[in-house]
Amino acid sequence: MSSLIQREARRLAQLTTPARISALSNDEFEGYASRFGLTDSAGDVVEQGAFAQSLARRGPAKVRMLYQHFAHEPIGVWQIIREDARGLYVRGRLITDTQRGRECLALLGEGALNGLSIGFRTVRAKRDAKTGLRHLLEIELWEISVVTFPLLAQSQVTAVGAARDTADEIRRAAAALRAGE
C-alpha cells in the first residue's frame, strides 16, 4: 500500500513593518522579567500596570540585578526597565569585572541560562474566588534575577550582546538597497 503526500503551495503575504535595530554591546542582554496576564507556577498573575508606581518611584538604578535571587550576588545593572503591552521589558549590563558576571555572560551566550525572575513585595492583589489565582495589581519591585528556573516560564532573556556587528551590517545593507546599489 502506498501513501500519497501532496504539498500545497500557499501564497505568502507581504507585510511592511518598522524594524528597530538596537545593538547590544557584548556585556548587555534584554528580555521580559514578567509577562502580563499569564499564570506562574505559584498561582500569581501579574496585571498590566502593576509595576507603574514602583518604577516611577525607584527607576532602574534602584532595582538590583541578582544571580538566582541571592542578595549577596549582584551581577550587573539595569539600564532600562519598563512596562509595555507584553510585560516588564528589561535591558541590562553584566559587570564582567566580577567572576559571576563573566560566568553569567558565558551561560547566557550559550543559552544554558535564560530565565528571569522578579523579587517584589505585593502592595495590592485580588484573589479570584473561582480559580484561586492571585491577581497582582500593584507590586513594589526590589530586584530582578537571572535564574535557571523562573516561576513564569515565559519570563526569559530574548537577546544577548555581540549584536553590534550584525546590526551595523544590516544598516549598511539597508542603506545600499535604498541607494539602489
Q: Which domains does the chain have, with CATH numbers?
A: 28-159 (3.20.16.10)
Q: What is the pLDDT of residue 3?
A: 62
Strand ranges in 68-174 using DSSP code E only, listed in sequence order: 70-83, 87-94, 115-127, 134-147, 157-160
The pLDDT confidence band at residue 179, using thresholds 50, 70 and 90, is confident
Residue 134 in this model has a pLDDT that exceeds 90: yes
Asked about 34 being catalytic, the answer comes back as no
pLDDT at 5 over 80: no
Beta bridge partners of 35: 87
Reported as a single tens digit per residue, the pLDDT across 25-46 is 889 999 999 999 999 999 999 9
pLDDT of residue 177: 76
Query: Would residue 30 show up in a list of annotated catalytic residues for this protein?
Result: no
83 is catalytic: no
Q: Does 19 score more than 50 pLDDT?
A: no
Q: What is the pLDDT of residues 62-108, one digit of tens each?
A: 999 999 999 999 999 999 999 999 999 999 999 999 999 999 999 99
Catalytic option among 69, 73, 135, 140:
69
- Rounded to two decimals, what is the model's pTM? 0.78
**Cβ atoms of 29 and 156 closer than 8 Å:** no
Q: Are 21 and 165 in contact (CB under 8 A)?
A: no
Nearest to 76 by CA among 44, 51, 108: 108
Q: Which residue among the candidates 30, 54, 143, 155 is catalytic per the annotation?
A: 143
C-alpha cell read off for 157: 532573556
Alpha-helix residue ranges (DSSP H) falling in the chain: 52-58, 99-110, 164-178
What was the pLDDT predicted at 18?
A: 45
The single residue of 28, 30, 34, 117 carrying the catalytic annotation is 117
